[in-house]
Structure 1
Amino acid sequence: MTQTLEPTSQPIGISEAGAARAHAVISSSGKENAGVRLFIKSGGCSGYQYGMAIDDRELEGDTILMDRGVKLIVDRMSLPLVQGAEIDYVESMMGGGFTVNNPNATSGCGCGSSFRTDGSAAQDGEGAAGCGSH
């Protein structure tokens, strides 16, 4: 069973810049009713890695919510690790990209793709990869 939340009880959100970029990417994806799926996997130099995808599937146990007109999808296992996080889109001299501002991350790597939470370790591959290999 998927869980759809009202805006007042949202576990994650998306910034104005993130929403603008997400709308552009979703509309060019050709996937009807798609949203941004945020997920966590073990790996990276800090223990966990963020993953994002444009997804039109709603899987068993997903939490689905709307923020700034963007459908956000998080699976049951990833949700506790991203509770309170905000997806953002940042432009820099090296180009632009989505980033996750996660209040649960107690440390992260220099490239911002992986993180560690206080008191929880990745299930496998922790610390096995360097920043350059995400």
Structure 2
Amino acid sequence: MSDLASAQIKEMLHNQHADNLFLRVGVVDGGCSGLSYDMKFDDIQAKDDLAFEMKGFQLVIDSKSMAFLEGLKIDYVAQGMTGGFTMDNPNVKASCGCGASFRTATYRGSAKKC
């Protein structure tokens, strides 16, 4: 997690006005390549979730997604009046043209139209 991404997440969490929220990052079936990232704030942790203390907030990953996210680097890029999180994932072997979905060498997911 880059310093810029961490700062953006902390600011977003602060704006939610809820002390019990954490960042959940996972992988779900979908997108034209078969797998998509799922990144959201959550307040319910399952017993098989993996929790990590990041730079000022808690990151939670469900155990099924962990194999797809090993080595993932999350950054935040600001461009003019827009910006967004970027994912640099060494497990990705192919991705769609828009970059919203991907597949790995061992799992193709369930492709759906974007």
- What is the TM-score normalised by the length of structure 1? 0.78
CA 1:93–1:114: 2 relative to 1, 3 Å: farther
Cα RMSD between the aligned structures? 1.5
Aligned mate of 2:67, from 57, 80, 84: 80
Report the alpha carbon displacement of residue 89 of structure 1 after superposing the two structures with TM: 1.0
1:57 correspondence with 2:44 = yes
1:113 correspondence with 2:103 = no
**Residue 18 of structure 2 aligns with which residue?**
31
Question: Any runs of at least 4 consecutive aligned residues in structure 1 with deviations exceeding 3 A, and if so which?
Answer: none
**CA distance in structure 1 between the partners assigned to 2:17 and 2:98 by the alignment:** 30
**CA distance in structure 1 between the partners assigned to 2:97 and 2:83 by the alignment:** 16
Q: For residue 37 of structure 1, what is the amino acid of its counterpart?
A: R
- What is the TM-score normalised by the length of structure 2? 0.90
Structure 2: runs of 5 or more not aligned: none
**Residue 98 of structure 1 aligns with which residue?**
85
Q: SS of the counterpart of 2:68?
A: helix
Report the alpha carbon displacement of residue 110 of structure 1 after superposing the two structures with TM: 2.9
1:48 correspondence with 2:35 = yes
Structure 1: runs of 5 or more not aligned: 1-13
Indicate the percent of aligned positions where both proteins have the same amino acid: 34
Q: Deviations over 1:87-126 (max 9, x none)?
A: 211112471111211110111123322111012121x3x2
Q: SS of the counterpart of 1:21?
A: helix
**Residue 68 of structure 1 aligns with which residue?**
55
Is the Cα contact below 8 Å between 2:33 and 2:108 reproduced in 1?
no
Report the alpha carbon displacement of residue 45 of structure 1 after superposing the two structures with TM: 1.2
- The count of aligned residue pairs is 114
Report the alpha carbon displacement of residue 29 of structure 1 after superposing the two structures with TM: 1.0
Q: Deviations over 1:66-99 (max 9, x none)?
A: 1222211100111111011022111124711112
